[in-house]
A = this chain, B = another copy of it.
């Protein structure tokens, strides 16, 4: 087979690859990072590189003009190497560090009346032995097992071989006095299963902390809370972008990437790397205690079903193929070392249970921490992130569905969309007569783009001021230079180039508006299908609980104006922040809560929208601002009628 030489960025040493290799693969060999937000499908256009010498075969050149192609530009993920080439890779977009402390930390109280002796599965015991002699040459393991049986009542304790390695030295170092940590789970048949987590020499102070971590693996952000399991106090809250982002921005892109050779292992290593990084940061943040990663003895993990598969290194391929069946919803317990976590290698890792391919453990954990499964009130719970998952119900019943809202609210699929970091426009107001906008930028500097909450705000303002009509068409009859014909059709200029950081106009285009309409329509249609499935009018919802860090910045008024949220009194809406990590925290503390999350997972009825005709109808009806059926949005209708805008009800 022919091999070719590929020179990147004028480096002196070319890499040698087989004929047929993709430029992205060659770049990885050369140690050069090329972002692939769509997972290498050739859809996002972010992996554009320039071939300055030689030629490649392009399988797809989506998003490239004939002129681009003429100049040697190509998509690295779609370009097959069939000869010696030289490639220039433009500087890659940096994924900036999230403003963790002020944007994701939430106040949290331990479970009221938390009693670790009863609720905590991680147990700490002190054992004292008589040392062996010629009269009693019992081996160390049997000696330990005997005490676990007679002193503590555990007939059988699972002891991993890797822990067996240190038993003999610990027994002697502690002069036959040891502290043993067991993770004890009650089971249905009444026989608890006990797993040894650690064995340390000597008696340990009874009130000293026992460290645990609650983790939410988000598609975009991974959040970790470091907790003293003895007091229940959260000592550190940290979050970081999921390092998998470079290999795809949404779950579908990640699944596609995982299907490539080596992709699954790479994605697993990336997310485990992110968690390990968070563990290190969290340990350093703890005040008044010196905590090392090895001190973490128990972890609970929430996350959507794809994230769980990737975390455990299990191929997620079938999640995206009809009939959308995951390999598992409930993973077996594992030990930290099984996946490469830097916690204590024998720490038990409890992956929380999910419901379906698109309703994962982040949702069951959210339902738990939001208390949806214990309330009398008819509750709508939603987590608007990369996907839109929602739950309707109360302590009597729970129905759930997921709508592929697309990543528009995360800033993707929108020309000037971006994540909610420094430089993002997060709120917009439009003057109803001049159509001039004012906006607020995260961090206070010049804007670079518009984040999800900014897009909702912008769309609502455009609609309420008549800049767009109910179908999302820009009103070209208005006398403002901000509405103009752009490269890809009509657009509205939010910021002129002299106001922006990068010196280019920030605009919202007709195409962007369509993407946003589809996203909000999918979510609203989901609400309606859930309500219809149980025969309850959506308007009877008694409370709306919104989880997810994005949800925290959702402006209810504007969200109702565009028809993203149902038109209910504002006081019925409650923003809860990251409900998934909070649910993981509850399950980390208390076996009762852990049992509850399993009950939630098994009692929740999942509705598959792609198999549901009513969804399509509801979706089409919601593709307008705020909705075809205006009677569903009485406050919006009233506001429009109050304003001077010409408004057609048909």
Contact = CB atoms under 8 A, between A and B. Distances in A.
Given A134-B608, A140-B328, 15 more contacts: A134-B322, A134-B610, A137-B608, A139-B328, A139-B329, A141-B328, A141-B329, A141-B330, A161-B312, A161-B313, A161-B331, A161-B334, A164-B327, A165-B313, A169-B317
A150 interface: no
Interface in A324-382: 324-332, 334, 338, 356-357
B164 A328 contact: yes
A142 B329 contact: yes
A164 B338 CA distance: 13
Given A137-B357, A606-B137, A165 B315 contact: yes
A133 interface: yes
User: Quick one: copies of this chain in the complex?
Assistant: 2
Given A161-B331, A332-B159, A334-B161, A323 B167 contact: no
A312 B606 contact: no
A409 to B, nearest CB: 26
Contact of A327 (B133, B168, B322, B334): B168
Contacts of A328: 139-142, 164
Interface residues of A, number: 44
Contacts of A137: 323-325, 356-357, 606, 608
Given A313-B165, A314-B164, A139 B608 contact: no
A66 interface: no
29 contacts: A133-B323, A134-B322, A134-B323, A137-B323, A137-B324, A137-B325, A137-B356, A137-B606, A139-B325, A139-B326, A139-B356, A140-B318, A141-B327, A141-B329, A141-B330, A142-B328, A142-B330, A159-B332, A160-B332, A161-B313, A161-B332, A164-B312, A164-B314, A164-B328, A164-B331, A165-B315, A168-B318, A169-B315, A172-B318
Contacts of A139: 325-329, 356
A132 interface: yes
A324 B133 CA distance: 8
B315 A168 contact: yes
Interface of A: 132-134, 137-142, 158-161, 164-165, 167-169, 172, 312-315, 317-318, 322-332, 334, 338, 356-357, 606, 608, 610-611
Contacts of A327: 139-141, 164, 167-168
Nearest to A326: B139
B332 A138 contact: no
A169 to B, nearest CB: 7
A356 B139 CA distance: 7
* 10 shortest interchain CB distances as A-B pairs: A134-B611, A141-B328, A168-B327, A132-B325, A139-B329, A139-B326, A140-B327, A134-B323, A165-B314, A133-B323
A132 B323 contact: yes
A260 to B, nearest CB: 15
A306 to B, nearest CB: 13
A159 B137 CA distance: 36
Contacts of A161: 312-314, 331-332, 334, 338
Contacts of A165: 313-315
A267 to B, nearest CB: 13
A169 B317 CA distance: 9
Contacts of A357: 137
Nearest to A191: B189
Contacts of A324: 137
Contacts of A608: 134, 137
Nearest to A314: B165
Contacts of A611: 134
Nearest to A168: B327
A139 to B, nearest CB: 5
A25 to B, nearest CB: 23
Contacts of A312: 161, 164
A303 B176 CA distance: 28
Nearest to A351: B161
A156 to B, nearest CB: 9
Nearest to A338: B161
A324 B140 CA distance: 11
A137 to B, nearest CB: 6
A192 to B, nearest CB: 14
Contacts of A331: 161, 164
Contacts of A133: 323
A146 to B, nearest CB: 13
A383 to B, nearest CB: 20
A318 B176 CA distance: 14
